[in-house]
Amino acid sequence: MHILVTGGAGFIGGHIAESVAEDGHDVTVLDNFEPYYDTGLKRHNVEIAREAASQSDGSYELVEGSVTDAELVDDLVANADVIFHQAAQAGVRTSVEEPKKVNDYNVTGTLNLLEAIREHGIERFVNASSSSVYGKPEYLPYDEDHPNEPVSPYGASKLAAEHYTRIYNEVHDLPTVSLRYFTVYGPRMRPNMAISNFVSRCINGKSPVVYGDGSQTRDFTYIDDVVDANRKLLTDDSSDGEIMNIGSTDNIDILTLAKAVRDEIDPTLEIEFADRHDSDAEHTHADISKANELIGYEPSRDIREGVKEFISWYQQNRDWYEPLVLSS
């Protein structure tokens, strides 16, 4: 099977590309190496996936370019069987400062893919969405019928991409699915996320910094579970046209998370606090019953188990990972 992974040098896309390459599929990765964080981490993701392909019967090709390039997208889609669309301009706070850029990548880029699929056909298009589409909770946990009122341009752009993905399924009968991720973490995670920041600071003897009072809660999802959800859609066509939450079984407040990381590494450190950004969500918590029913999705770890695994991985890979974290 020929699989196209957009944003395939990033955190989630890199893990997906590695996984399907390891299974012997022919993988093409499209990534523009946007310097939102140190691109050395993205280069490392590429080498890991390329090595996985070399150990299997599959192949790996990296194409440096953007989903905003409609002609390039059309050429790549013409040769693909399945597309995992992970490319996006990430960052809730970044989106407040550069909303047009976020719209170009997240909305126009998705439309370019959908138009190319309409022209060439495909077996499945899996769109990476986000819990940011929900906004302020009317109730928790969020189910897929919860009102969508995003509080950032990033959330609005992901919701627009979701709607286009659904519409192309309904109007053009394209085999599309959208997965709403809830704060994904794990090995090779982006260095500007809370968990990686807490861990890097504590390992280096610095206090973890919590934004706000730490009462905000998050549903954290381990990277292996996100990869598993995507892989289930390689062959499962029962979810075409659907939108599904991909989260964990619990959530945790940020202050408790910071303390858990601190206590695992250096209990003598004090917690520091800084001003919180207005565009940050107050709470997230996923109802995953729909994904469980449709594709048999089940998270494998709770946040405390996952954090311990990430700390262990960080310590084992500190020589190359930490410099990239500290430089971002």
DSSP, residue by residue, 33-84: --TTS-HHHHHHHHHHHHHHHHTSS-EEEEEE--TT-HHHHHHHHTT-SEEE
What CATH fold (topology level) applies to the domain 2-181+223-247+280-300? Rossmann fold (3.40.50)
Catalytic residues: 154
- 2-11, 189-198, 216-225, 292-301: segment of lowest average pLDDT: 189-198
* pLDDT, average across residues 255-267: 96
* pLDDT, average across residues 265-282: 86
DSSP state of 229: H
91 versus 85: which is more confidently predicted?
85
Is 187 in contact with 176 (CB distance < 8 Å)? no
pLDDT tens across 169-197, in order?
A: 999 999 999 999 999 999 999 988 899 99
Alpha-carbon gap, residue 235 to 171, rounded angstroms: 23
DSSP state of 5: E
Average pLDDT, the chain: 95
> What pairing do the DSSP bridges indicate for beta strands 184-185 and 82-85?
unpaired
Residue 279 banded pLDDT, cuts 50, 70, 90: low
The pTM assigned to this predicted structure is 0.96
pLDDT, position 282: 81
* pLDDT, average across residues 160-171: 98
**What sign does the CA torsion over 75, 59, 106, 292 have?**
positive
pLDDT, position 235: 86
DSSP state of 141: S
